[in-house]
Every structure is written in C-alpha cells, then in structure tokens.
Structure 1
Amino acid sequence: MSEGVLDVHAHAVLRSSEGAAGAAGPELGTSSDGRPFYRVGDYVLHGVRYEGSPFMDVDLRLAAMDAAGIARQLLSPNPLTYFGDLPVDDAVSFARRHNDGLAALVAEHPDRLLAAAQLPVQDVADSVTEARRAVRDLGMSAIYLDTDPAGRTLDDPALDPLYEAVVELDVPLFVHPSPIGPDGPPADPRLRRFDLDLQCGFAYDETLAVAALVFGGVLERHPELDVCLSHGGGAAAFLAGRFARAARKRPWASDALREQGFEAWFQRLWLDVHVHDEGSLDLLAARADPARLVFGTNFAGWDSDADDTPTGPWAQALTANAERLLRITPTATSAAGDAPSP
C-alpha cells in the first residue's frame, strides 16, 4: 500500500447502477451541445464530467490518489442519488445494485479502497436489512446517510432501529447532505446565486444535523454510536457558544444535555476537516475532540485540490483517527499517539 493519509470523504459514480432506480435513473449522457449530463429523476446536472474521471475510472482514481499522497480512501454514494423520495421497491433495488457494484470495485483494490453503504431510507426496516447485508455479506466498512433521510430529522425516533443496527454491526455512520440543487431552494432563491447552495446550503444542513444529533438526544440514546459529519459539521464549531447557552437555558434541553453541556456532546461526534482554511481548522480543533478529526477531500470534486493533503505528524494523527473510526488495523506510519494539531 502507498504511504500517505486515509481519506474518508470520496464519492463514487457507478456505471452498474444506471437505471437501477427505475424511471428515476440515474442516467449518464451527452446533450446536443456536447456537454455531459447526469439525470436523477426530473433533475439534470449539466456540465459535470463523471465518465473518464476519477469518479468512475478506478485507475484514474488510484493514480490521482498517488499524486495527492492518499494511501486509502473510503468510497461513498453520490449525494445526488440518495433517492429519499422514491417508492420503496425502487429505493431497495437501487441500494442493492449500488452496494453490490461498489463492493465489487473495492474488492479489486482492498489495500487502497473501502466502501460505505447506500440505504433505502424510506423504510427503516429495509434499511436495517440492507445495512446488515452490506456489512456482513459484502464487507462494507460504513453506512452512509443524508442529513434529513427521506424527510426525517436525524433525531426522529423512527430511525432508532437503524442506529441500533449500526452499533450492532460495529461500523461508523457517515452523514453528508444531499445537494439543494435537484429541487432548488424553494424557501430562499438567494442560494441559487454564486453556487451558495453548495457553500452555505451544505453547511446549513450539516449544522442542523449536529443540532439533531445532540439536542435531539441521538447520542444520548445510542452511546456507542459513532457518527462522522462532513465539512467539519458545518457551522457548528462557530456556533458552539450559542448552542451551549441554549442547552443551558432553553426549556427543551434534556437533563443530560444540561448536566454535561453542549460541548461534551459535540465532542462525541467525528468530523472531517474539509474546511479549506487554517483558522477554521484551528477553531474546529478547539471545539471538537481532536482525536475525532479525520481527513476528507470530496475527491475530484469542485472543492478538492491535490495540495489539500496534510503531511507529517498531522497526517499520521488524522489517519490513526480514521483507522479507529473505521475499525481497521493501523498502518505502521499512523500508530496512535498524541492528539493531532493542524
């Protein structure tokens, strides 16, 4: 295996899952003006080239990982294809096809790639069944979930059987928003300007996810659940003081939340450090548990650059954290040591 860091934030697009969601696709194609498109239901993403890129070509991915100094990568579903609004049967069909394809891809490169499972979140019982199949039969290393799966908040008690299954399977849960783009931001068209749906929209959803997990008691009800959020948990580190004050003073706060404080519960979360700024990273490391920070890239995405990859002790610490999160044997260069510092 190449030396380098472990990247937990990398999406994959699979040719084998095309058409697996029935009429919703997904479908790859080229428009009349020569631009590539990717159709998901009624939404068509124009101009993003998946085919012939690391998203779909594993040889290009591995070469780009080598160039970026990334030793291993956790591959996860494309957030465009969460398909939370599909009929259950179509969602189950897509999840199974996607997980089968992703597991087969990872099996070809077990020393470089790991996989996170797609779930048919419309039906919690079907999600539990697929999570068990993905981990036990396909060897997948994690479960992937939207910040508002099938329109539920993450603290919805209906999701508790799924969280119990994740703990039983001894794998982590990764939470990443779906783009606002497919339906547009109906309540705030200002997010359509300057790609703010990708910048502010994701941070908004991730911050609300932190609130649901902490304020909504998910971590209290499931003390052994490991949850990792993308992009540093949105704006939660910046808002930590206001969240802490609300936990002390607002009437909805549970006894455990009041007694331990927001800060202690926030430090139960795992967060990727894909935040693009040293000041933001310093704030994140000060508010979160540094031993629960992991490296993520959104590999090959618009906001990913090869020079993002950390090196030296910081990279080793992030990798050791990720290996603990993913329950994998530490590499020789990433043995656990002091808490990381940027």
Structure 2
Amino acid sequence: MGSELRLRSPRLHRTGPGGRRATGHRRRPPGRPRHRGPRRAARAGRPPGSGTARRRRPGVGPGLLVELPGGVRPDRPDGAVIDLHAHVVLPEVLAGLDEDVVHLDQGEPGVRPPSFRVGDYTLEGVDYRGTAFTDVGLRLAAMEAAGVTFQVLSPNPLTYLTDLDPSRAVDLARNLNDRVAGLVATAPDRLGGLAQLPTQDPVAAAAELRRSVTELGLLGAAISTDPGPALDDPALDDLWATAVELDVPLFLHPVPDGVAGPVRDPRLARFDGDLWLGFAYEEALAVSTIVLGGVLDRYPGLDLCVSHGGGATSWIAERLEHAVATRPWADPALRADGAVARRLALLWWDAHVGGPRALAALVATVGDSRLVGGTNLAGWDEEVDPTHGDRALAATLDANARRLLRLDRTGRLRG
C-alpha cells in the first residue's frame, strides 16, 4: 500500500528547547490574557521555556491532505467496508471561539503560511479549506476511490478542548454536533456521526450524548483519552451509565501534547513524536486506567473503542499482567489467572495501527472479535486498507463494526 500513496513532504518547526520559532507564526498580542479553563490554569504556572509547540505541517492545496492516485481502489472483499476513524474540521463553528483558544489563519501568499492553532499547539502550512476535512463532496469522492462504503465522522480531536470553560464547552459541542448531523444528512446511506462531548462537565456530557443520539441520530460519541476527570473517576459514571442506557459506543482518541495546556514533555517536540509516540502512550495509559480502575467491572455493557489499536497496549500487555501479579495496589480480582486478558477482550479496537506487524501483534493480544476498521482518510497517516489485503479479516472487521455501531438495529447500511 505504501507505494500507492504519495504524501506531501512534511516540514516541522517548533519553539521551545532545541527549537526555532517558525517564520510567520502569529503570536498573541502583548498583554492579552489567554482564556483558560480550570485545567489549563492549573498548568499556567510553569516556567518560561517549559515547552510550547510550533509546527509546520504538510502544505495542503485543493483536495486531500493525502493525494490518492486516480482510480486507486484497494483489493477489498465484496460487501460493506465500514470506517470508524474519520475526522472533520468545521471552520464555521470554530470561528465562534476566541482567537486565543482556536485560530484558523488562511495565511497570505509570500507573507505567512496558513496555520491552525489550538492552545499551545500550532499546525503551520495546513489549510483545511477545499479538502475532504471540510467538503463532504470531496470526502464522498475519496471514499469511493478508497472503496469505503460507510464512514463515521467525528470532530477533529484537536478541538476536543477539554480545558475550555465548561459552559463554553457545552455550546461548542452542541454546535459541532448539529453540524456533524447536517453532514450525515447529506448522505445518510454513506455517512454516520459521533458526537463531541463536554467531558469537563460529565453531567452535561451525558446530557449532550443523549441529545445527540435521540434527537440528532448520531451513533455514539468520541472523547479524549484524557477527558478531564480520569477515565476511572466516579465523576464519569453518569456518562458511562448513559452510554449503556442508550446502547451506543464511545470512541477514545488522544490529542497532541500542548493542545490541552502547555507542552508536558518537550522531547516529543522533535520528529512529530507526539503523534506516533505520544498517542501510543496516551492510548495505552487509557486502556490501563480502564482495566485497572474497574470501569468495565462497574459497567459491563459499556462499549469503548480505542483508537490506533490502543497504542502501545499490545507491547505492554504482559508487563501489565506482571504488575498486577506483583504490585501491592492491584485489586485481588485482577490477579486471577487471565483476568487482565478477559478485561482487555471487553474493549473494542481500531485497526488503524500503521502496518501489518502492529496489526498482527494486536490480533495476537486481543483477538479479532472486537477489531474494527479505521482509515483516518485524508490524514497524514491514512491507511486506506488497515487489513493490508487480508480479505477474511476485512470481512470480520466490517461485521464487527455493524455490531459496535448497531447498524442493523438502526436500519443503516442495509445489505
């Protein structure tokens, strides 16, 4: 597959330890305070130079961030191809936020590049206009080229904004979800949607999940792996209980270091480490918290799907079992033979893991009965066929996705 895709060459600029300021980066006017929610305010006391990300991403012209050669259609099995990992950017909603929270700059030719800044994280050289992220027609064309039958859209994780003031986060989520539902309505036989939730206010998050499912017809929700309260915090019990009551899944996806507060580890500033290493850490930590914190013991009907195959989970699962067997904090119930593995088997796993070796490790660790397909279509790490030509596995992924999304119950994607 790698030879079939042409990626525009990325160029990375940051500031912070070991970095240089990116040319043309928009700085906050002197003396203008940032609007900080409770989490960001708690981190605001860090000393200067503790890590502020400035990035330049691949330039984007008309069409996709990833260029698909004309007519490319991977070898797919007959029947549906269901993609659960797909993000949209909604500038018309983000324009209502303060500039120091989110800023989409179209740039000026010869003066400064376009950029997308969220918190202390900036993508430079990226213009989402005229791409599948903002244009549903281009998305449907890209799906057709990739052989994707049905795709589930969710807001870009960069805009989860888990440190935003709760009341503003509620308004943002409602606006984003209304817009996602509108996109789905343009092609309901090809598109589904996941809601954004204001998880910094778990009661409001539960209410917005209910509205999004019962009034907007969305299929579930997408939340951060670091949603505000810890994933095993009882504060999230209302959200988990509502998801079980509504019988809908939740998709967990990380955000880059620097989005929800100052950069915590400036070493990730090099080589896009927050995307391929930071994400893997966040996802594995989320899985560990869910398992060790007893979330699925309290809510056995809760369907949580973790992006990118749970990140590093496949590689640390045996060490996790060893820690449970030897460390004093472990719940005795987790020390029973196979207890950790049984709990891992209750989660769902995005097959968008980067390559066949990582996919084989994931299947060897958790099996394939709760593995679902994801492409991140049009993104920097797009995998048009996450099964890498395994037709039997592709059929399994699509059958699993039908179960996870309750597509047969909802009447979506018949056949």
TM-score, normalised with respect to structure 1: 0.91
Structure 2 unaligned spans of 5+:
1-77
Name the CA shift for 1:192/1:18 in 2 (closer, same or farther; >3 Å). Answer: same
Indicate yes or no: 2:11 matched with 1:11. no
Q: How does 1:141-290 map to 2 (within 5 A)?
A: 141-150=219-228, 152-182=229-259, 186-259=263-336, 260-290=338-368
1:20 and 1:93 in contact (8 A); partners too: no
2:120 and 2:262 in contact (8 A); partners too: no
Moved more, 230-239 or 322-331: 322-331
Which 4+ runs in 1 deviate beyond 6 A? 330-335
- For residues 186-236 of structure 1, what are the alpha-carbon distances to aligned partners after superposition, in whole Å with 9 as ceiling and x for unaligned? 443221111111110000000000110000111111100010000110111
Equivalent-residue separation in structure 1 for 2:413 and 2:152 (angstroms): 19
Q: How does 1:125-144 map to 2 (within 5 A)?
A: 125-144=203-222
1:149 alignment partner, SS class? coil
**Shift in Å, 1:317:** 1.0
**2:167 counterpart (71, 77, 89):** 89
**Shift in Å, 1:315:** 1.5
Structure 1 unaligned spans of 5+:
336-342
Equivalent-residue separation in structure 2 for 1:326 and 1:332 (angstroms): 10
Q: 2:208 is matched by which residue type in structure 1?
A: E
Equivalent-residue separation in structure 1 for 2:241 and 2:181 (angstroms): 23
- For residues 232-270 of structure 1, what are the alpha-carbon distances to aligned partners after superposition, in whole Å with 9 as ceiling and x for unaligned? 101111111111112222222223222252111111110
Indicate yes or no: 2:396 matched with 1:317. yes
**Shift in Å, 1:25:** 5.4
Q: How does 1:27-38 map to 2 (within 5 A)?
A: 27-32=103-108, 33=111, 35-38=113-116
Equivalent-residue separation in structure 1 for 2:294 and 2:278 (angstroms): 24
1:272 and 1:294 in contact (8 A); partners too: yes
2:115 and 2:127 in contact (8 A); partners too: yes
**Which residue pairs with 2:18 in the alignment?**
none
Q: How does 1:65-104 map to 2 (within 5 A)?
A: 65-104=143-182
Equivalent-residue separation in structure 1 for 2:413 and 2:131 (angstroms): 30
CA RMSD of aligned residues (A): 2.3
- For residues 97-117 of structure 1, what are the alpha-carbon distances to aligned partners after superposition, in whole Å with 9 as ceiling and x for unaligned? 000000111011111111001
**Which residue pairs with 1:120 in the alignment?**
198
- For residues 32-91 of structure 1, what are the alpha-carbon distances to aligned partners after superposition, in whole Å with 9 as ceiling and x for unaligned? 335222233464321122111110111111111111111111111111111111111111
Count how many residue pairs are aligned between Structure 1 and Structure 2. 333
Name the CA shift for 1:24/1:83 in 2 (closer, same or farther; >3 Å). Answer: farther
2:150 and 2:413 in contact (8 A); partners too: no
Equivalent-residue separation in structure 1 for 2:208 and 2:227 (angstroms): 15
2:408 and 2:414 in contact (8 A); partners too: no
Higher helix fraction (1 or 2): 1
**Shift in Å, 1:135:** 0.5
- Please say which structure displays the higher CA radius of gyration: 2
- For residues 11-41 of structure 1, what are the alpha-carbon distances to aligned partners after superposition, in whole Å with 9 as ceiling and x for unaligned? 1111331234345554432223352222334
**Which residue pairs with 1:329 in the alignment?**
408
Equivalent-residue separation in structure 2 for 1:89 and 1:261 (angstroms): 40
Name the CA shift for 1:289/1:321 in 2 (closer, same or farther; >3 Å). Answer: same
**Which residue pairs with 1:339 in the alignment?**
none
1:295 and 1:319 in contact (8 A); partners too: yes
**Shift in Å, 1:161:** 1.1
Equivalent-residue separation in structure 2 for 1:116 and 1:66 (angstroms): 21
Q: 1:285 is matched by which residue type in structure 2?
A: V
Name the CA shift for 1:41/1:277 in 2 (closer, same or farther; >3 Å). Answer: closer
Moved more, 198-207 or 123-132: 123-132
Equivalent-residue separation in structure 1 for 2:364 and 2:123 (angstroms): 38
- For residues 167-197 of structure 1, what are the alpha-carbon distances to aligned partners after superposition, in whole Å with 9 as ceiling and x for unaligned? 0111001100011143687443221111111
Moved more, 227-236 or 16-25: 16-25
Q: 1:115 is matched by which residue type in structure 2?
A: G
Equivalent-residue separation in structure 2 for 1:49 and 1:95 (angstroms): 23
Name the CA shift for 1:24/1:316 in 2 (closer, same or farther; >3 Å). Answer: farther
TM-score, normalised with respect to structure 2: 0.75
Q: 2:84 is matched by which residue type in structure 1?
A: V
Q: 1:14 is matched by which residue type in structure 2?
A: L
Aligned identity (percent) is: 50
Indicate yes or no: 2:122 matched with 1:44. yes
1:21 and 1:91 in contact (8 A); partners too: no
Equivalent-residue separation in structure 2 for 1:271 and 1:25 (angstroms): 31
Moved more, 238-247 or 224-233: 238-247
Q: 1:160 is matched by which residue type in structure 2?
A: D
2:339 alignment partner, SS class? helix
